[in-house]
Amino acid sequence: MKLIDVVQQQSEVISVDRHVPLQIQWGSHASPLIHWRTGDLSRTLLEIGVDPSTGVICTLTLVLPGPVEQARAEASLAGLVAIPGIPVTNLIGTCEAYLDEPKALRVLRGRQSLMLDIGGRGTISKVMTTSRIRFGVDQHGELAAIEVFNLTPEEERVLAEGLAPMILAEATSHRVSLNTSSRTFDTKGLGMRVQWIEVWVDDSSRGDYLLVLRGLEDGRVEIVDPQKNKEQVAMFDSYDDATHWLNEEEYEPIEGRWTP
């Protein structure tokens, strides 16, 4: 989908939810929308609603985020010159209700932000921005990135809870890689089957940082950091010892325990 122009911004409503992570609506629309969809359409799915009479983007819904990664600071679109307004697409006059354009979709969580990379994200040549959404356009005029910024503490907390299973999927899909500078107590737990998983949130920074607590088959418990390539943070002989350490570091659990 190409972004070809902007129009004056209308009201913007952003909603985050544990079940549908992100929903955005601009203004009101009475006529049926074109639903442009991307991602692999099975594990990742982003849907953008477009007014067929004007080509203007009206809604955006992140339906399936897939594995969630940690965003690097340089991934932000904040440093680029931005054109204010809601993007106009090249879908004016399209009759189809659904347009599927499968592309790689990556979801990255940053500090007070959520980044969506589309199609491998080439060089961003232009940025269009509404109140709290940046649209990155590549050199071919294609939509290549979307950044939600200035998330409130409450929005970050809800997103952390909603995206937790996706972060877990990413954290448990690989072996833990150790770094000698990390706080590592033991390496014998590597390769053992994980029995259960919990996600803990840094309460001191209002849910901005996550750690994953993993129970191993020998009874020990390890803590890994999904933001640092699943680096091991600590290993403990018991769950009580692990949770005591997390409480001392001002972490609190997200409700629920998952079985991989």
Question: What residue spans define the domains of the chain?
Answer: 3-151, 154-253
Predicted local confidence at residue 252, as pLDDT:
83
Residues 92-149 have pLDDT tens digits of 988 899 999 999 999 998 889 999 999 987 789 999 999 999 999 999 999 999 999 9
Q: Indicate the DSSP class of residue 90.
A: S
pLDDT score at 158: 84
Alpha-carbon distance 88 to 25, whole Å? 15
Taking Cα atoms as reference points, which of 213, 201, 218 lies closest to residue 176? Answer: 213
pLDDT of residue 174: 41
C-alpha distance across the termini of the chain, in Å? 36
Nearest to 144 by CA among 167, 128, 130: 128
- Residue 182 confidence (pLDDT) above 50: no
Site of tokens 């809601």: 86
The two tokens of residue 104 are 């790689």
The confidence score (pLDDT) of residue 168 equals 56
**pLDDT at residue 188, as a whole number:** 44
Residue 19's CB is within 10 A of a number of other CB atoms, namely 6
Please state the pTM of the whole predicted model.
0.70
Q: Would you say residue 165 has pLDDT above 50?
A: yes
pLDDT of 181: 31
Q: Is the pLDDT of residue 80 over 90?
A: yes
Q: Is the pLDDT of residue 10 over 90?
A: no
- Residue 121 has a pLDDT of 78
Residue 239, pLDDT score = 93
pLDDT mean across residues, the chain: 84
Looking at per-residue pLDDT, the higher value among 9 and 171 belongs to 9
Is residue 84 over pLDDT 60? yes
- When mean pLDDT is compared across 44-48, 80-84, 204-208, 236-240, the lowest value belongs to 204-208
Residue 25 phi, psi (nearest 5):
-135, 135
Tens digits of residue pLDDT in 186-244 = 434 455 788 888 888 876 654 457 788 889 988 899 998 876 767 889 999 999 999 99
Please compute the mean of the pLDDT values over residues 63-69 and round it to a whole number. 86
